[in-house]
Amino acid sequence: MQINTSLIQAQRDALTPILKPDIRIPWKILCYDSYCEKRLSTIYRVGDLREMCITLHFNLDQNRERLHGVTALYFIQPIQASIEKLVEDFNRDLYSEVFINFSSPVENTLLEYMAKELSKISGAVQKIQKVYEHNLDFVALNHNFFNLENQVVTGLFSIIMALKVQPLILFQKNSKIEQIAKELIEKLKQFEFNSDYPLLAIILPDRDIDLNTLIMHSNTYGALLHDTLNIKYNKVKLEDQVYDLSPQYDNLWLQACNMALPDAIDKIDNELNDWNTQYQQVSQQNQEISSALNAIDLVPQMNQQKKMVDSHINLAKQLTQIAKQKSLDKFYQLGQSILQNETVTVNDYPQSEDNQVEQSKEIDKLRLLILMLLNNYNQQEFKKFEQVFQIKNEKYLNILTNFKQRVASNQNNKQQSVYKSLFAAITSKIPNSGKGLLKNFQNYLLQRKKSSIVQMLENLFLNELKIDELQSILTMYDSRVKNISRLEFGLLSTIKGILVCFTEGACYNEYAELSDFAKSINKVIIYGGNKIYNAEEFLVQFQ
């Protein structure tokens, strides 16, 4: 059996029984809390809900009028606050029939609380048609990209259930992740997996093996957008406009997200040219009835396509303006040189005479300095950069101080050195080349140094000589035998896919790298974490 290659489709399949229960009613409304709203917002649009006869949808925090004769579908997280709001709705006698859906199994104490409170309300229990418990504790941002929103154990379990797979859990011994892995394993032991389900290797690495990828500047369209405009649950706000980047509706985002910026902009430009060509062809069609009818049929599709292209033109225009102003391509080039231990000097930094422009770069300067610290770069050069950068933001200075202390305390950490020796690899830089619309951004076409997680996967699945070394630091739980199993070479031919989850932060930068690696080994790789950070969001935790 092949693995389901789409988290979006898997979650749609799981959500459909909630939104379209097997009942014959002309129309219904949907009520959700903020937690479940995020799961819905990346999967459905309003038009999709209408097709399922959902005419109104509300957050529980919204003021709502009484609608007698109406069936209400509730989709909420099983927590005290959401259950209290549910009880309040019954108190107000808002709806005639109610279906209650919890995003994950409910604790007995909460069920007892709900039953006790509803029993005090006349007619409340009779209104409840069904109560369901689901496993939907993850947000599908793309077909192979997820956000667990800090619900790591229940989130990973939900993904396993949604994809219908048999999991192999691999995690590092004596690491911060070990306790989380053990909790997940205990949960899995209570479940009998179908032996026909495909095998999925779930890798739970310690974030400490690679902080570089979360901090470094990127060259891909998606990562740069997240860095500069901050993507939140597939939505980007630019001035007063909100752009929806959900891949099931935006094929251009699906294709361009992980492309290098110049390639992505060329892709956007090509899409615009294709649309213009199609528009001219439709406009020039003769006036025969059949041709006219075909042209009319194409209008909605072409309007949607033009809206999609215009969205990316606006986003790319804003992104390139910010990138040019802040010299982000140069920061990317400097970062790659540091990672590959090449010589960089303060003369390589394009300092602006405009103080306001220099101030806008403070977060970028901080990222470069931290990259130097993490990679034990030449201390003299570090001090020169620190002096030239002159960071004034007190928050950023505190972060830099904390990283200096962190690096100093880790220098003698033997376990850290073991990880680095296992995942170390040398990659070379390809020559600069200009392309298309962004000749000033040719640095974005430099080859990236492989991240630690890509090197780890290469050693695990492609390098037979590394298996014994990895065996000493990795534990593998096999759900087929409900026990710890020995790590052996040849695992890649056995599994149907790989899931990588960082429990202390994931990012678009790493997502792009793993997507490229997936193509090279011809396997599905699903990626995500407890949170999806851009560099600034990640760094502010260290202030």
The sheet with strand 67-76 has its strands ordered as 54-59, 28-32, 67-76, 95-102, 128-133
300-309, 362-371, 373-382: segment of lowest average pLDDT: 300-309
Q: Residue count of the chain, please give it.
A: 543
- Whether the pLDDT of residue 298 is over 80: the answer is no
Average pLDDT, the chain: 88
Residue 104: pLDDT over 70: yes
Dist CA 70 CA 91 (whole Å)? 16
Over the stretch 220-275, which tens digit does the pLDDT of each residue have?
999 999 999 999 999 999 988 999 999 999 999 999 999 999 999 999 999 999 98
Of 3.40.50.2060, 2.60.40.60, 3.30.70.270, 3.40.50.300, which CATH number belongs to 7-133? 3.40.50.2060
Does the pLDDT of residue 197 top 60, yes or no? yes
Residue 172's pLDDT band (boundaries 50, 70, 90)?
A: confident
**Given a cut of 50, is residue 417 above it in pLDDT?**
no
Please determine, for residue 180, whether its predicted confidence score (pLDDT) is greater than 80.
yes
The better pLDDT of the pair 492, 168 is held by 168
Pairing of strands 474-478, 166-172: antiparallel
Please check the confidence at residue 207 and state whether its pLDDT lies above 70. Answer: yes
Judged against a pLDDT cut of 90, whether residue 290 lies above it is answered with no
How high is the pLDDT of residue 427?
25
| Domain map (residue ranges) of the chain | 7-133, 139-210+451-542, 233-325
> So what's the pLDDT on residue 432?
28
Which two tokens mark 423? 């995942």
For the stretch 428-482, pLDDT in tens is: 222 222 233 344 455 565 567 788 999 989 988 888 778 888 888 889 999 999 9
pLDDT score at 292: 56
pLDDT reading at 282 higher than 90: no
Pick the CATH number of 139-210+451-542 from 3.30.2140.20, 3.40.50.1910, 3.20.20.70, 3.60.15.10: 3.40.50.1910
Mean per-residue pLDDT, 388-397: 95
Percent of the chain with pLDDT over 90: 71
Given a cut of 70, whether residue 288 has pLDDT beyond it is no
**What number is the average pLDDT over the span 423-429?**
28
What is the SS3 assignment for 158-181? Answer: HHHHHHCCEEEEEEECCCCCHHHH
Sign of the torsion angle spanned by Cα atoms 532, 198, 209, 174: positive
**Segment 189-197 long-range contacts (CB within 8 Å, at least 24 positions apart):** 189/482, 193/165, 193/166, 193/167, 193/479, 193/480, 194/164, 194/166, 195/166, 195/480, 196/1, 197/1, 197/164, 197/165, 197/166
Which amino acid would we find at residue 41? Answer: S
Q: Is it true that 7-133 and 139-210+451-542 share their CATH fold?
A: yes
This prediction has a pTM of 0.90
E strands, 111-250, in order: 128-133, 139-142, 145-147, 166-172, 199-204, 235-238, 241-244
Q: What is the mean pLDDT of residues 527-540?
A: 97
Task: Give the pLDDT confidence score for residue 40 in this predicted structure.
Answer: 95
pLDDT of 408 over the 90 cut: no
Across 17-34, average pLDDT: 86
pLDDT at 407 over 90: no
Helices (H), 340-465: 355-360, 362-374, 379-389, 394-410, 414-423, 452-461
